[in-house]
């Protein structure tokens, strides 16, 4: 893999100064609870800080330019105006994701001149270049993968989906940026949350609900169950990626050489 680009390793600046943009979905949402409700498709905007790996998840109603602009304005209002926005050029997408990628490119193309005059520049990264902006790196790919599978068919309302996404965002921004140490004398591991609010983001304590039947849960506890399912799936893959390569080989019965 080539060297990381300068914007991913230059110290200073602020979180989300250089942003990788991606979309996930579609996700099914219902207009209201109860019988007779209508099912609609919604999408998840994923904004990733290229330097700190902080993640901002935004629920968007459709794949239209107006909705994209509104989502971008909400992101800037809460996280600050980025200098550079990077997006995959689309050749690695298939099926529904190809439609999403074409939409992002068309929307960004339409905003390029307007945003450039305001100091925001859009870039389309080469295909299959995860080191360039990080939008396709393992952490983001697994986030999209598990978001769609955990939330895809749950038929939550827009408000419930939005709450679930914000809670998942807090989980992701509380994940250690480096492998955990076994020494009790080491400092608290650094997380993206430290760059955002000076400490990890945590949620209120709640009972274990992953093994409970969905039919026995209230809507509130159903949202918490989805959050726990996402964290369980995502953290297993994340821990595997953070485990040193030699340790994984030894656990699989393969002796590592040259490490």
- β-pairing, 39-49 vs 55-60, is antiparallel
> Looking at residue 132, what is its pLDDT?
55
Query: Please, are residues 27 and 44 in contact by the beta-carbon 8 Å criterion?
Result: yes
Distance CA 19, CA 221 (A): 33
In angstroms, how far is the first alpha carbon of the chain from the final one? Answer: 19
210-257 pLDDT per residue, tens? 777 776 777 767 777 777 777 676 666 655 655 554 444 344 444 433
pLDDT averaged over the chain?
Answer: 72
pLDDT band per the 50, 70, 90 thresholds, residue 104: confident
> Looking at residue 33, what is its pLDDT?
75
Distance CA 88, CA 133 (A): 9
What are the DSSP calls for 171-209, one per residue?
Answer: HHTTS-SSPPPS-TTSPPPP-HHHHHHSS----------
What top-level class would CATH report for the domain 6-251?
alpha beta
Which residue ranges make up each domain of the chain?
6-251
Query: Please, are residues 134 and 97 in contact by the beta-carbon 8 Å criterion?
Result: no
Query: Please, are residues 128 and 45 in contact by the beta-carbon 8 Å criterion?
Result: no
pTM for the complete prediction? 0.70
Q: What mean pLDDT is predicted for residues 108-125? A: 75
């Amino acid at each position: 893999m080539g060297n990381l680009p300068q914007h991913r390793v230059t110290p200073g600046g602020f979180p989300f100064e250089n942003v990788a943009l991606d979309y996930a979905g579609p996700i099914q949402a219902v207009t209201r609870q109860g019988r007779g409700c209508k099912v609609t498709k919604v999408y998840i905007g994923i904004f990733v800080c290229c330097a700190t790996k902080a993640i901002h998840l935004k629920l968007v109603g459709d794949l239209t330019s107006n909705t994209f602009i509104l989502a971008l304005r909400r992101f800037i209002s809460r996280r600050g105006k980025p200098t550079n926005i990077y997006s995959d050029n689309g050749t690695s997408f298939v099926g529904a994701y190809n439609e999403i990628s074409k939409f992002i490119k068309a929307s960004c193309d339409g905003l390029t001149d307007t945003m450039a005059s305001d100091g925001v520049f859009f870039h389309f990264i080469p295909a299959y270049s995860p080191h360039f902006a990080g939008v396709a790196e393992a952490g983001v790919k697994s986030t999209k993968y598990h978001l769609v599978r955990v939330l895809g068919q749950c038929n939550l309302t827009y408000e419930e989906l939005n709450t679930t996404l914000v809670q998942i965002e807090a989980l992701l921004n509380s994940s250690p940026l480096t492998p955990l140490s076994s020494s009790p004398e080491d400092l608290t591991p650094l997380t993206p949350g430290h760059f955002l609010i000076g400490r990890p983001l945590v949620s209120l304590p709640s009972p274990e609900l992953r093994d409970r039947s969905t039919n026995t849960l209230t809507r509130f506890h159903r949202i918490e169950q989805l959050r726990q399912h996402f964290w369980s799936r995502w953290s297993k893959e994340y821990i595997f990626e953070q485990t040193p390569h030699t340790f994984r080989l030894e656990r699989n019965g393969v002796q590592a050489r040259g490490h």
